[in-house]
Amino acid sequence: MSSRSLKSTLACVIALAVVAGIGAARAADAGASGADVRVLSFYADVRVRPSGAYTDQQTQVIQALTRTGAQSLNPYQEEYSKSMATMRVESAYIVTRDGRRIDIPAADIVERPAPAPPGSDGSPIYDNNMMLSVGLPGFNKGDILHLKTLKTQRKAYFPRQFFDVWGPAENESARQQTIVVRGPAGMHLYAAQRGGWTIARSTAGGGVTFTATLAAHHAEFPGTSTVDPSDYSPVFEVTSFPSWAAVGAAYWSTAQRKAAVTPLVKQVADQIAGKLHGWNAVKALYMWESQHIHYIGLELGVGGYVPISANTTLRTGYGDCKQHSTLLEALLAARGIRADPVLINWNDGFNLLPLPGLDFNHAIDYLPKYHVFLDTTGEFETPGQLAIGERDKEVVISGPHPRLARTPGAEATHNRLVYEATLHLAANGTLSGSAHMTTSGWWAWFNRMIFSEVPPGAYGRLMNMLLTPSGGGSGTFRPGNPTVLDQPMRVAATWSTPAYALPGKTLSVPLPAGPYLVPSMAGTDDPVSALTAVIGPVDRRHSVITYLGEVEWHSTLTLPSGYVPTYLPPGENLHNAAGTFIYSVHAGDGAVSASYQLELNHIAYTPAQYPALRALLLTDLRAQRAPLVFHHI
């Protein structure tokens, strides 16, 4: 759904290179910035028509600072919507490192269908976008690309409305950025910036002109777990939308009729809800749609912001986020329950742009009567509980009363993992255990997703993978029903780990021990160890994200006979602005018991909040890494 025109081609390649771990070798090669590519100059001449259509002529000079940068630029590519725009190259040539000019042959400039990447869950996405591809013969480190292109946007997403945003990517080195936007005064265009742009406004002959300049942007490579760059990267924005409510009203102007209650919609809603009313009917319709309408992205022209009708979605059995939200609105309306569409960004950004515009990539629903947000695109979210990436977000509620709102935040008590384990350590060092995990919120979403996709025959492999960090082993799981969405997800497990410890005159063991199922934290044996990525730096320039909520575990370990404690870590009970950490260890009657609770108050922590978060998690890590030491009597 997003119309953002940031130069993402360069950004993606640079980011991938850094993630791959080869950035350090190239940093010295690229100079102080560490970037692979530098935009030496960028000039955009944008001319907006009263209809919202426009032309965008861009002239840019780009240098490859490294061999990787040269590879990332070749071919140079720009994507556009075939049904809404055209694009052509007006001039293109290379100046080599030794000063030779190489004109790019017309045969090396081609248009082809743009490959649509899969959705975050691997679901297919279909669009009619085209890719303008410019091959760069012999392009190498130190060479400079001179390129002039013209894009003609024939149609606006919404009549007589214009919105666009420009800016270098965070890990892109850029100089001499100039954007000139000309439009009719009657469109009432607005402009704003973030991150060092200078804006001048002038009027003449019934038109308005905005000229924005950015002298320099230095490549930035923030620490792990930093929020999405959309929250802080430098941007220049021009829009005709006077308010976020106006954005919601524009979406509603086309989406409302798509949620019509047809005879088919009424029939399906009545079959699903039956005699249920109120919230029970909401849950029934929500769970049915989540599990029966397959997600497929459909970004065809204005379809990026205009949904297909609920009636059509019922007949086909698939749809993207807009179709999902529209169908739920129709099904609920058939039962006398109102739901309004919501525009949201599903990513790790938490703030909107300085001015209102079409800068969203996802649609969900809001139920005013129950003050809850619902997203049926995921098959496993608890009704009323949003997924990771949708929480604590500024959103636009569309519908008859459009307005700006914010989704619920961390809500630790609604996003819990409670883990209880009973463990036995044999004299030969083999650890055997049984455990029960009870999860809610996003923890439940992850566990439901895992056990809906992993067949029972593969439970042993999953167990072995999860036990690998603590020494390997074998076992199995007994999960609850992942299709029951309105109850906590429960999973039982039994396992054994050989050579977990080496009993002798002394014995040292870590706790807890067991097969955690931890979202997006592969290779870790417990949730908090993955948070070391958050608390590495002493301070932060940007906010950090910590999808955790609350984790609580209790483990009781029976020791081989004859062992008594030599050292047990002291208890901890820390409450600060970031959250709460409680930890205690007790021994007696040949066993040791540990209790742990970590609760984080927020998802995103600002630089000012970061010291409290770091103090909390450092206390946690020190406590967990402290050994439990016993000696034999």
268 has which bridge partners? none
Q: Is the dihedral of CA 514, 519, 524, 530 positive or negative?
A: negative
When divided into structural domains, the chain yields a total of 3
Q: What is the CATH number of the domain that holds 468?
A: 2.60.120.1130
Residue with tokens 């099904």: 331
Structural domain contains residue 87: yes
Q: What is the pLDDT of residue 467?
A: 82
Same domain, 325 and 377: yes
Structural domain contains residue 2: no
Same domain, 465 and 395: no
Q: What are phi and psi of 602, to 5 degrees?
A: -135, 165
**158: Cβ–Cβ under 8 A, 6 or more apart, which residues?**
52, 250, 253, 254, 305, 358
Asked whether 53 and 153 are in contact (CB, 8 A), the reply is yes
Hey, is 483 helix, strand or coil? coil
Same domain, 190 and 322: no
Q: Could you list the residue range(s) of the whole structural domain that residue 91 is in?
A: 8-240
Count of CB atoms within 10 A of residue 311's CB? 20
Q: What are phi and psi of 414, to 5 degrees?
A: -95, -5
Give ∠ CA 229-235-237 in degrees, rounded to 5: 130
Structural domain contains residue 3: no
Q: What is the pLDDT of residues 182-197, one digit of tens each?
A: 999 999 999 999 999 9
Same domain, 236 and 252: no
Q: Distance (Å, rounded) from C-alpha 251 to C-alpha 359? A: 12
Hey, is 552 helix, strand or coil? strand
Helix (H) or strand (E) segment spanning residue 104: none
Same domain, 422 and 370: no
Q: Distance (Å, rounded) from C-alpha 210 to C-alpha 193? A: 11
Q: What is the pLDDT of residue 317?
A: 93
Same domain, 621 and 562: yes
Q: What is the pLDDT of residue 64?
A: 96
Q: Distance (Å, rounded) from C-alpha 103 to C-alpha 93? A: 4
Structural domain contains residue 355: yes
Q: What is the pLDDT of residue 289?
A: 95
* Own/partner pairs, 301-306, CB within 8 angstroms, 24+ separation: 301/81, 301/83, 301/84, 301/128, 301/155, 302/83, 302/84, 302/155, 302/157, 304/1, 304/3, 304/81, 304/127, 304/157, 305/1, 305/157, 305/158, 305/251, 305/254, 305/358, 306/157, 306/254, 306/255, 306/258
Asked whether 223 and 534 are in contact (CB, 8 A), the reply is no
Hey, is 530 helix, strand or coil? helix
- Where among 352, 375, 408 does a domain terminate? 408
Q: What is the pLDDT of residue 118?
A: 52
Give exposure, 535-552, as e/b (b: 16+ Cβ within 10 Å): beeeebebbbbbbbbbbb
Q: Distance (Å, rounded) from C-alpha 600 to C-alpha 621? A: 15
Asked whether 536 and 223 are in contact (CB, 8 A), the reply is yes
Q: What is the pLDDT of residue 2?
A: 42
101 has which bridge partners? 95
Q: What is the pLDDT of residue 406?
A: 93
Same domain, 403 and 442: no
Q: What is the CATH number of the domain that holds 377?
A: 3.10.620.30
Same domain, 375 and 356: yes
- Where among 408, 432, 465 does a domain terminate? 408
Same domain, 421 and 402: no
Q: What is the pLDDT of residue 514?
A: 64
Structural domain contains residue 156: yes
Q: What is the largest CA-CA distance in the chain?
A: 96
**Helix, strand, coil in percent for the chain, rounding step 5:** 25, 35, 40
Q: What are phi and psi of 399, to 5 degrees?
A: 95, -165
Same domain, 509 and 387: no
Same domain, 161 and 227: yes
- Where among 186, 206, 240 does a domain terminate? 240
Q: What is the CATH number of the domain that holds 81?
A: 2.60.40.3140
Structural domain contains residue 440: yes
Q: What is the pLDDT of residue 63?
A: 97
Estimate to the nearest angstrom the gap between the alpha carbon of 149 and the chain centroid.
31
Half-sphere exposure of 379 (CA within 13 A, CB side): 18
Q: Which residues of the chain have pLDDT under 50?
A: 2-31, 120, 300-303, 519-524
Q: What is the pLDDT of residue 530?
A: 65
Give which of 199, 168, 201, 165 is closest to 182, Cα–Cα: 201
Structural domain contains residue 625: yes
Asked whether 451 and 477 are in contact (CB, 8 A), the reply is yes
Q: Is the dihedral of CA 270, 273, 279, 284 positive or negative?
A: negative
Q: What is the pLDDT of residue 9?
A: 30
Same domain, 233 and 291: no
Helix (H) or strand (E) segment spanning residue 468: none
Structural domain contains residue 1: no
Q: What is the pLDDT of residue 518?
A: 54
